[in-house]
Amino acid sequence: MSNFKLIIEYDGTDYHGWQRQKVTPTIQGTIEAALKTMTGRSVAVIGSGRTDAGVHALNQVANFSVATKLTPDIFKRGLNSLLPADIVIKDCKEVPDTFHSRYDAWSKIYDYRILNRPLPAAIFRKYVWHIKKCLDLGAMRTAMFYLKGKHDFSAFEASGSPRTQSVRTVVDVSFAAKDADGYLVFSIEADGFLRCMVRNIVGSLVDVGMGKTSPKEFREILLSKDRKQAGKTAPPHGLFLREVKYRPRDGLI
């Protein structure tokens, strides 16, 4: 058996998330179907984590094991010829059989993109949350730094989250300055994320930017561990999985 590591970019607009489902199209299911065409057998693709319906990825990491004589380059070219245009295999390489894309991940970085101006976007409308009211980025930056460190993030967790505990460590957070066209990006790196955690955080930070909530109240929401106190869930189409980090070992990176 050979173990292959994939780097995948995808537009999640037309998919019901990463995880395979019986009826609705998913990223995992679509890649597995292409692998079956190439290998003639069912192959399970393991992702570094699940992305929700409508969420995108620039560098999702996955791995699969199969008994084959096909090389990584053949898999890369073959999969890209079979997959739809909104899923691209950016890299494929053989890795030790001990590598697991999910369990070996050290941290993940998500970006959430907002368009903050009165007029909506024509071209990038599917990839940003359009907010007309001018946001107070200073207040949002003050609030976001309460996220750094090890916390119980239950206040920003959607119901039905598949986890054993809700404590995560946020390594870094940032808000890119709004550019001339009104685009800004919230970035967060953590050792793991709860279901809809990033989108719920963004929704609550936007409340701060609109003056509905103060930075101090944002901190109190975090400490409350109560989802009912937090803001609404930001729409999925503004969220991108940017990077999955692994400890350098055994030539994996």
End-to-end CA distance of the chain: 21
Widest distance between CA atoms in the chain: 60
CA–CA gap between residue 244 and residue 59 (Å, rounded): 7
Judge contact between 197 and 123, C-beta under 8 A.
Answer: no
With CA atoms as reference, report the closest residue to 205 among 107, 125, 131. Answer: 131
Q: Is residue 152 among the annotated active site residues?
A: no
Query: Do the strands 2-10 and 56-66 form a parallel or antiparallel pair, or are they unpaired?
Result: antiparallel
CA–CA gap between residue 200 and residue 228 (Å, rounded): 11
DSSP strands (E only) in the chain: 2-10, 46-47, 56-66, 87-95, 105-116, 129-131, 149-152, 167-175, 183-190, 239-246
114 to each of 9, 140, 243, 244, how far by Cα in Å?
Answer: 20, 13, 19, 22
What torsion do the CA atoms of 94, 98, 100, 105 make, to the nearest 10 degrees? -100
Task: Report helix angle 27-39 to 72-82, nearest 10.
Answer: 120
Q: Say which of 52, 104, 111, 207 is annotated catalytic.
A: 52
Judge contact between 213 and 246, C-beta under 8 A.
Answer: no
Residues designated catalytic: 52
